[in-house]
Amino acid sequence: MTKQLEGKIAIVTGAASGMGKSITELFTREGAKVIAADRDNKVSEIWDSDQNAIPIIADITDSKDINRIVETAKEKFGGLDAVLNVAGINDLNYPLFDTDDERWNKVMDIDLKAPFRLIRRALPIMIENGGGSIVNIGSYAALRGNHGPSYTAAKAGLVGLTRSIAFTYGRSGIRCNIVHPGGVDTNISDNSGTNYHSEGQKSLSAIIQAMPVKYFAKPTEIANICLFLCSDKATWVNGAAISVDGGMSTC
């Protein structure tokens, strides 16, 4: 069987766990060389022994680390074909009145500003390579507004960023799409700090009860969509927002 990503070079953020880890696993199996980036030190333990992956301990809110990630792809593998912005946190359902500037800024820095900076740094290399695929991980919250304002606004902003890049750089061979997962079995809550806001979580839980499915997706179910978007099977998919949520966004 032909590997779908044979010869491709990709950057995956959040590669130490959850969706990022599953995407990295799938991409390396499908023939890609992957720069596996995460702020968690265990990214090295996971990927050190994989000849198709280079682990990088990096803080994606730091421009120097963003540069280091992209430069490693070019220096070690010779180019770049795909960027997957997976790393993120949520706002633990804190409503507006309880969202201080610190929480707002932290969510925006990781969920919106970091993808913007990584894409901005990676685009020249991808264009020089003849084009490539960018996949941003959004959230069904961007479509419904049922999380707190910082997470909802950051993911909605990521939709706008995706469309702008798709429109501007499509003529340069760049495809940029966004995937909106629903609930996924990951450790995003652990990475987000403290506890969920009691009233915010109560409101979201009531909505979840009305949804057609009441289970979390496996990270591999999101990884499969990302594989398609970065493969040659998706050459005419650009600027798309794809819900992968078991029907949650129908509610």
For 73, which DSSP code?
I
Sign of CA dihedral 217, 218, 224, 225: positive
Tell me the pLDDT tens digit for each residue of 77-111.
999 999 999 999 988 888 888 889 999 999 999 99
Going from the C-alpha of 182 to that of each of 19, 30, 146, the distances in angstroms are 12, 25, 12
Q: Is residue 3 part of a domain?
A: no
**Among 151, 169, 196, 215, the one annotated catalytic:** 151
Q: What pLDDT does residue 79 have?
A: 97
Which of 175, 178, 194, 192 has its CA nearest to residue 232?
175
- The three-state secondary structure class of 189 is helix
Q: Is residue 166 part of a domain?
A: yes
Q: Is residue 1 part of a domain?
A: no
Q: What CATH number is given to the structural domain containing 129?
A: 3.40.50.720
Tell me the pTM. 0.91
Q: Give the domain extent around 79.
A: 9-243
Q: What pLDDT does residue 206 have?
A: 57
Low-confidence residues in the chain, pLDDT < 50 = none
151 belongs to the catalytic site: yes
Q: How many domains does the chain have?
A: 1
Going from the C-alpha of 64 to that of each of 57, 119, 137, 235, the distances in angstroms are 12, 14, 22, 32
Q: What pLDDT does residue 183 have?
A: 79
Q: Is residue 153 part of a domain?
A: yes
Q: Which residues pair with 244 in a beta bridge?
A: 181
Q: Is residue 2 part of a domain?
A: no
Q: Which residue has the tokens 């109560």?
A: 202
Q: Is residue 248 part of a domain?
A: no
